[in-house]
Amino acid sequence: MRIGHGYDVHRLKEGRKLILGGVSIPFSMGLDGVSDADVLIHAIIDALLGAAALPDIGSLFPPSDPAYRDIDSTVLLRRAADELEELGYGITNIDCTVIAERPRLSPYILSIRENLSSVLNIPMEDISVKATTTEGLGFEGEGLGISAHAVAIIHAVNK
């Protein structure tokens, strides 16, 4: 078994859709970035790649490449999972935390877990998603951005 960690931050901006874990969340602002800026999926991708000691998300999917402009991050997540499969790894479980002062994410956690489960083709019970605020402190607390942490355990699959 191997463990990996991922962390990502995106800035909140008006005129963008807020997408977390591939789920569109109603809010007055969205995350800014080259792709759909799904900070949660980006953290998960880096946790998975890190567990396999593969190059990070920016190396695998360079933001300078026009192919990734506005791309749905679930596509990137699936590709990262495919990379792991090619190396003979399966995903044991994933745990992640989204840090956002607003909006309140608890109503969307189940949908996010269901979505990640279908993209990764692993049971929902093996995917934990949590959300917290920082009590108004720091950039997340001031509503300037949203961050996400993820850890993933992967295992060698016997073929």
Smallest gap from Cβ 45 to Mg ion, in A, equals 9
Name residue 24's amino acid.
S
Smallest gap from Cβ 155 to Mg ion, in A, equals 26
Cβ nearer to Mg ion, comparing 42 with 113: 42
Binding string, residues 58-77; x marks residues near Mg ion by CB under 5 A: --------------------
Establish if 8 lies at the interface with Mg ion (CB under 5 A).
Answer: yes
Peptide bond into 103 cis (omega under 30): yes
Establish if 149 lies at the interface with Mg ion (CB under 5 A).
Answer: no
Establish if 42 lies at the interface with Mg ion (CB under 5 A).
Answer: yes
